[in-house]
Structure 1
Amino acid sequence: MPCHINFKGEKTVPVEEGQTILQASLADGIPHYHACGGKGQCTTCRVMVLEGAENLTPPTSCERAIKNVKKFPDNVRLACQTQVRGEGVQVQRLVRDDTDRYIFIDGKEEGTTIGEIGERRKLALFFIDVRNFTPFVEANLPFDVIHIMRRIFALFKNAITQYNGEIIDTAGDGLYAVFGLNSKIRQATESAVLAGFKILSDLRIFNNTYMRPYFNHTFEVGIGVHVGKVIVGNVGIGLSHNLTVMGYPVNIAARLQASTKELNNSFVISEVAYRLLKNPPYSLGCDYLNLKGVSTPYEVKLIGKPYEII
């Protein structure tokens, strides 16, 4: 015989043996939000236990970890981690406003079900930025600048997509891409490096055949590559493919790209990523960067070339 749980102000639903509170509420039609997919990696499914706490299973390790960070009181539980062991349990959902309902229920894109908005993945993270672009902007007409930016970004996109990367975001004269959405991390890292080298090669050709003859200017880029576990999700606000990738490894990759100027090398890769390469390229050497939030210097490999324009 199933137990029952009362959602205050909503309904009483049956809970089968082995079901979590979240599974039971979803099975009975309650729009119970769960951004991580019910894996104990977010807090959107949390409930306040009003009665019958003694008839709930003890907190899981995932739940204890989150409760320690968020400092939740004992009567706040994660519905995806909690099962019901007896009658008399009453809870109240804590995330339930109209905006949440639109994001998770009414506004979901075709092919996306509740809970399919984020997952943890290990990816290769790729940042690239155009060097010495400001002098070009200052010396040329706005429409010429836009035209050249389109040419350069088309060059970037061609290399990234050729090696199965996905562009996540662009900002000014740089962009951010990831590799590994459909491959293992070693292959993803190889692909990121190959895409970077293709960009460097294609940019040299572009400079020699187009920029010098027509604009008397050349461009250089800085590339940073790192690997790590990140959250891949869908922000669902109607922009391009809505994909976003977040996590501390993303910040490290961005800082590696920013360090290319001070290291005077066009391509910087973390030692962690370099070790994953089956046939690692020749490195001009290694260096150690002091990154914010990292207690020890971060080892990187220099696999590009020194800049012609310092």
Structure 2
Amino acid sequence: MCQNMTVQVEFKGEKTVQIAESQTLLEASLAAGIPHYHACGGKGECTTCRVLVLQGAEQLSEINSCERMVREVRKLPDNVRLACQTNVKGEGVQVHRLIKDDTDRYIFLNGAPEDGSEAIGKRRKMALFFIDIRNFTPFMEANLPFDVIHIMRRIITLFRNAIEHYGGKIIDTAGDGVYAVFGLDTNIKMATESAVFAGIKILEDVKIFNNTYMRAYFNHFFEVGIGVHVGQVIYGNVGIGLNNSLSVMGFPVNVAARLQAATKELNNSFVISEAAYGMLRNPPYSVRTAKINLKGVSNAFEVMLIGKPYEYAAAAAKVE
């Protein structure tokens, strides 16, 4: 960079500022009127000025000894830099200030988990897995509340065992459904295969559970709907409530949830996107294709049906 030459840095959601070679990110943001926290006075003795680097990391100065010491103590992820210790060498830098008001200050200073790599948020390609229990409402209506809770625990445990066996992680449970992800520690192809293996195992385990327990003791059987999609998401520890919880968000998550919901109209227990299916080294031989319209997706979405038609749907058709 030539002497006295300035470049632009975008503070996402705030403004684009001019920064000279001799200025740090903190100095430039303050000069532009951004209320950038710097509790230690910009001496590299705290982390209140830290920023998440969204673009242009290669245009930033090398980590100096002062910043390195702080990073080691706080275990900051690679895409987070101290604004007071960072200069800019060229165009294309976009950052996001992490502490913006008193609420942010409390969350990041008092509520930050020990694992800094998950506290902020990272981009990663993952396999997204949604599963929901079919014909559970009739069971609830016909049985006592404590029996319903008992069976729910049995089924959720069945789900969790299969998901964790193949390296997945449950992100959320809601009602009679579970949302899990695969790929936190593996590449996307391995993650997708693991998600499919987990789904196939659950289908088999539910069948066994029905035959050995549900039909014998409750004169009922369950089926499930599974949706799997892949894509780049953001994951991080949201730190809400009494315990810090991992969150995985992004449009691919919404798609996976909608694929699970589409198992009803497609009358198939396991629906996987074409993108995810293409990741499989040994895809299931029994497969049908379909095109469906998903909310938020302009074109028809191609999916693969790797499960089976629902028994309860066939039974209902006979009754009609």
Residue identity in the other structure for 2:309: P
Describe how 1:1-310 pairs up with structure 2 within 5 A: 20-21=25-26, 25=42, 27-29=44-46, 31-32=48-49, 34=51, 37-40=52-55, 60-61=91-92, 63=94, 78=95, 96-112=100-116, 116-238=119-241, 241-310=244-313
| 1:186-224 Cα shifts (integer Å, max 9, x gaps) | 000000000000000000000000000000000000000
CA drift at 1:17 = 5.7
Structure 1 counterpart SS, 2:158: helix
Paired residues of 1:160 and 1:195 also in contact (CA < 8 A): yes
Gaps of 5+ in 2: 5-19, 29-37, 57-79, 314-320
SS at match of 2:129: strand
Cα distance in 1 for partners of 2:189, 2:122 equals: 19
Percent of matched pairs sharing the same residue: 61
Native 8 Å contact 2:112 2:119 kept in 1: no
The aligned amino acid for 2:111 is G
The 1:173–1:62 alpha-carbon spacing in structure 2 relative to 1, beyond 3 Å, is: farther
User: Alignment partner of 2:214: what SS?
Assistant: helix
Q: 1:211 to 1:241 in 2, by over 3 A?
A: farther
Cα shift readout 1:259-310 (whole Å, capped 9, x = no counterpart) = 0010000000000000000000124310011112212111000000000011
What TM-score do you get using the length of structure 1 for normalisation? 0.75
8 Å Cα contact 1:268-1:301 kept in structure 2: yes
Distance 1:250 1:20 in 2: 34
Contact 1:33 1:104 in 2 (8 A): no
Counterpart code for 2:48: P
Cα 1:18/1:288, change in 2 over 3 Å: farther
Gaps of 5+ in 1: 4-14, 48-55, 64-77, 81-93
TM-score (norm 2): 0.72
Coordinate RMSD, CA, aligned: 3.1
Question: Structure 2: which amino acid aligns with 1:38?
Answer: V
Preserved CA contact (<8 Å) 2:55 2:92: no
Count of residue pairs the alignment pairs up: 256
Q: Is the 1:22–1:32 Cα contact (8 Å) retained in structure 2? A: no
CA distance in 2, matches of 1:196, 1:240: 28
Amino acid in structure 2 at the alignment position of 1:277: L
CA distance in 2, matches of 1:118, 1:287: 35
